[in-house]
Amino acid sequence: MSVTSNALLRHITIDACLRDTTKKYSLNDLIAACTKAVKENSKTKLKENFSISTRTVQLDLQFMRDKKKGYNAPIVVYEQKYYRYKDPNYSIGNANVKQKNLAPLSEIAETLRRYAQISGMESLSEAITIIQDVIERKIEGGINNISPLELPKVSQGRYFDVIKDAVVHHKVLSLSYSPEGNLNCINVIFYPLFMKSYCNRWYVLGYEEGREGIHTIPTDSVISYSYAILPFPPNYKFNPDEYFADIIGVTKPTIKKEDIVIQTKGHVAQNLISNPLHPSQKLLNKNENGEHQFKFSLIPNVELYRWVYENMPNATIISPKNCAMLATDYIKDIIKDLPKFIVEKPKKEGKKKTITLQEPDLFSNL
């Protein structure tokens, strides 16, 4: 454990003791509590007689009281015996923390930043953004003018850890899964090779017994599993860079990639400019009416058609014709399963008859 992490652990431990109004913590009690916390959280085994020094805890208390460098904690000594916060609602967790006191978090962010540069670990950048956001808001005294960034909740399923372990240790699984929530279950002998999250959902990729090529199963669709007593073939390999190079998402049909032209407008066009859908994306032309045409070199798959559907009417495949027709068929299949709503037209009100009141002729009998 680093020195900064050790100090932060002691501060948190002392804070918990001083907030506990059911017990009176003397200096020796605080030393014992800090010693226990460090021993329990140390990565290396410490000696039995290891103990935090009296001087260290006294400096911790002094630091926590410090207004400029520490937490400005209202620590008071009662009866010259025990320590407690003057304000029972105080906690260093609510204090305005200085930049250097958040050094452990900064170290974590920097470590994650280095790992995020490795291929396949780019998603760590989201965690870095969250840590930096927490640090900045804490330094500013907890002021939160922007909603904190949250990682999306990725659907994993009941047997996510089992599948993950099978991928890591090359275990053959007998799986029962229900694709897209269908009532019919599919039973397969599966050789898992790789896992990937896409659109807030986890997928496992591998070989199925009796079928050629790589197949994809959503991990949250798995209903039951057992271990198949079968050897894992040594020739079953998976290269993620090659597999995902020509597709969007996780599904890879056994067809050749094509040059696909998509016409976009409005916010979709602007989103593609700032966040390309695929590395092969190229802007072909931009019309005066705001329409943009982009070319992609891809293997068309379900994920591409789904993206078009989700961005209608601001995204349309215009070539090749067969790809555009497949996208249309995919969209028609979705639409036909949507519930039908009958909208009653308001009844037209008939023309109101105008009643003309005739004034009586007061002079008719004269």
Q: How many domains does the chain have?
A: 3
The answer to whether residue 248 is domain-embedded is no
* Reduced 3-state DSSP string for the chain: CCHHHHHHHHHHHHHHHHHCCCCCECHHHHHHHHHHHHHHHCCCCCCCCCCCCHHHHHHHHHHHHCCCCCCCCCEEEECCCEEEECCCCCCHHHCCCCHHHHHHHHHHHHHHHHHHCCCCCCCHHHHHHHHHHHHHHHHCCCCCCCCCCCCCCCECCCCHHHHHHHHHHCCCEEEEECHHHCCCCEEEEEEEEEEEECCCEEEEEEEECCCCCCEEEEHHHEEEEEECCCCCCCCCCCCHHHHHCCCCCCCCCCCCCEEEEEEECHHHHHHHHHCCCCCCCEEEEECCCCCEEEEEEECCCHHHHHHHHHCCCCEEEEECHHHHHHHHHHHHHHHHCCCCCCCCCCCCCCCCCCCCCCCCCCCCCC
216 and 262 part of one domain: no
12 and 84 part of one domain: yes
The answer to whether residue 349 is domain-embedded is no
Question: Of 95, 116, 146, which residue is a domain's last?
Answer: 95
The answer to whether residue 346 is domain-embedded is no
The answer to whether residue 10 is domain-embedded is yes
The answer to whether residue 128 is domain-embedded is no
276 and 209 part of one domain: no
CATH (domain of 71): 1.10.10
pLDDT digit string, tens, across residues 233-273: 988 988 988 999 999 999 998 889 999 999 999 899 988 98
230 and 272 part of one domain: no
Which pLDDT belongs to residue 362?
Answer: 46
CATH (domain of 331): 3.30.70
pLDDT digit string, tens, across residues 31-61: 999 998 888 877 777 788 889 999 999 999 9
The answer to whether residue 143 is domain-embedded is no
Q: Which of the four pLDDT bands, split at 50, 70 and 90, describes residue 151?
A: low
229 and 277 part of one domain: no
Domain that holds residue 290: 258-336
Which pLDDT belongs to residue 260?
Answer: 93
234 and 301 part of one domain: no
CA nearest neighbour of 120 among 242, 265, 268: 242
202 and 268 part of one domain: no
pLDDT digit string, tens, across residues 184-219: 788 999 999 999 988 888 899 999 998 888 999 999
Q: Which of the four pLDDT bands, split at 50, 70 and 90, describes residue 145?
A: low
CATH (domain of 225): 2.30.30
Report the mean per-residue pLDDT for the chain: 81
227 and 273 part of one domain: no
8 and 91 part of one domain: yes
The answer to whether residue 17 is domain-embedded is yes
Question: What's the mean pLDDT in 283-307?
Answer: 90
The percentage of the chain sitting over the pLDDT mark of 70, rounded to a whole number, equals 75
The answer to whether residue 29 is domain-embedded is yes
